[in-house]
Structures are given as C-alpha cells and as structure tokens.
Amino acid sequence: MKGKNLILTALITLVAGVLMLIYRDSLASGSIIRWVGIMCIVAGVVNVTVFLGSRDKNGEARMGAFGTTFGWIVSGAAVVLGLAMAIFSSAFVVLFGFMLGFVLLFCALFQLVLLVYGSRPARLNGAFYIVPVLLIIGAIYVFSLKSGVDERSIMMTTGIGLSLFGLATIVELIAMESGRKAIARKQTAESAEPQKPAEESADKAENE
C-alpha cells in the first residue's frame, strides 16, 4: 500500500508539472501558491507516513537516527510552509519565485531520502542521483529570477522539475521493487543450499 501511495504522489506531481507547462501563461500567482502549498502539505505527510513509518520484515525502522531526525525536520517544515501558503496566499505573491524554488528543493531532498534510505535493502544505480542534482540546480535558477518579471521562466522551470521528479520517482520505485525481489530470491536460494549436503549424507547412510 505504501508503494501505491508513493506512485500516486509521483503521478500527481507529474500531472501538476505538465499542467504548469501547458498553462504557464494563464495561471495566476495566487492560485499557484495555494496549489503549491497543498502539494507541500501532501508531500510532508507522505514523507512521514511512508518513509519515517516504514519497517522492514523484522519490524525495525528502515532509517537510522539521523535519517529519521532529518526526515521529521523536512516534513514538518514542508507542512507548516504549505499551510501558510494555502491560507495566506496573497502575502506570498511577492515571494512567488522563492516558494516554487523551495518546492523544487524539497523535491530534491525527498529524492535523496528515497535513494539513500527508502531503497534499502536494494541499491539503486548511481545514475539516479542525477535527478536530485538537476532539481537543486533548477531551484537555484528559480531563486535567481524575479517574481512579477520572470514568471514565465519560473513556471517553466518548476513545471519541468516537477515532471522530472514524478517520472523519476515512478522509475525508481519500479527499480527498487525489482531489486528487493532479486535480493529475496537470492536469500531463499542461499538458505536452501546448506540443506543439500545433509540430504546427501542421509542418502549415503541409508544406502550403507
């Protein structure tokens, strides 16, 4: 179920990114800020329920103390900021670019947490780390733009970033599931191997 929640979040983010690209010239800053606030709230809640609450087959937390603490801080900040943006959207219009840059930065951090902690015990290809790097670069670029002047560029960069995040998350989840199944098959095969010599000895004893 948690995997399905992540896929749903990724799909919603992907659709939001595509819509921002399509309607980049017609969306008002106030409306965008409200929706971005809602996305921050959803992302923060999902991070808490999916990652921080995830357990392995032995019932132990997948994350260490540092990962758990970092996750709570990031998630709490995202929820608080999201609520403020959704309720006081007019006050955030002047910070339009900064807010969307923060969203891209949060997506980058979410990706890093997913790759470093969420993928355990599987190990994903290092090429996946290109995604959070690109998101950080996009966030820095958005931070450098001016709200009210470069809104089209801000919308396009954010739309591309959200689309990339959603698509990459879906691919990573598929790769993680495949890796975990491979590890499970390997562990099953290894646990069955020691039984063979014992069975052979029993057969020899019977023959003698």
pLDDT tens digits for range 132-168:
999 999 999 998 887 666 778 888 999 999 999 999 9
Which range of residues forms the domain containing residue 115?
2-207
Tokens at 104, concatenated:
């891209």
Can you tell me the distance from the alpha carbon of 184 to that of 153, in angstroms, rounded to the nearest whole number?
46
pLDDT classification of 1: cutoffs 50, 70, 90: very low
Can you tell me the distance from the alpha carbon of 44 to that of 72, in angstroms, rounded to the nearest whole number?
9
Please list the alpha-helical segments (H only) found in 151-194.
Answer: 151-192
Asked if 111 contacts 168 with a C-beta cutoff of 8 angstroms, the reply is: yes
SS3 at position 55: strand
Can you give the pLDDT at residue 203? Answer: 55
Can you give the pLDDT at residue 57? Answer: 58
The fraction of the chain above a pLDDT of 90, given in percent, is 12
Backbone angles phi, psi at 26, to 5 degrees: -115, -10
Q: Which of the pair, 23 or 49, is modelled with greater confidence?
A: 23
Can you tell me the distance from the alpha carbon of 44 to that of 132, in angstroms, rounded to the nearest whole number?
17
Those residues with Cβ within 8 angstroms of residue 69's Cβ, 6 or more apart along the chain or in another chain: none
List, for residues 155-202, the tens digit of each pLDDT value: 899 999 999 999 998 888 888 777 667 666 676 776 766 555 545 555
* First and final C-alpha spacing in the chain: 55
Which residue, among 95, 76, 78, 75, has the nearest Cα to 32 in the 3D structure? 95
- 170 burial type by CB count under 10 A (0-12 exposed, 13-18 middle, 19+ buried): middle
Can you tell me the distance from the alpha carbon of 93 to that of 87, in angstroms, rounded to the nearest whole number?
12
pLDDT classification of 121: cutoffs 50, 70, 90: low
pTM of the full structure: 0.64
Asked if 3 contacts 51 with a C-beta cutoff of 8 angstroms, the reply is: no
List, for residues 25-57, the tens digit of each pLDDT value: 765 556 777 777 887 788 777 766 665 555 555
The structural domain count of the chain equals: 1
- pLDDT at position 71 over 80: no
Can you tell me the distance from the alpha carbon of 152 to that of 195, in angstroms, rounded to the nearest whole number?
66
- pLDDT at position 70 over 50: yes
Q: Which of the pair, 20 or 90, is modelled with greater confidence?
A: 20
Report the half-sphere exposure of 37 (CA within 13 A, side-chain side): 22
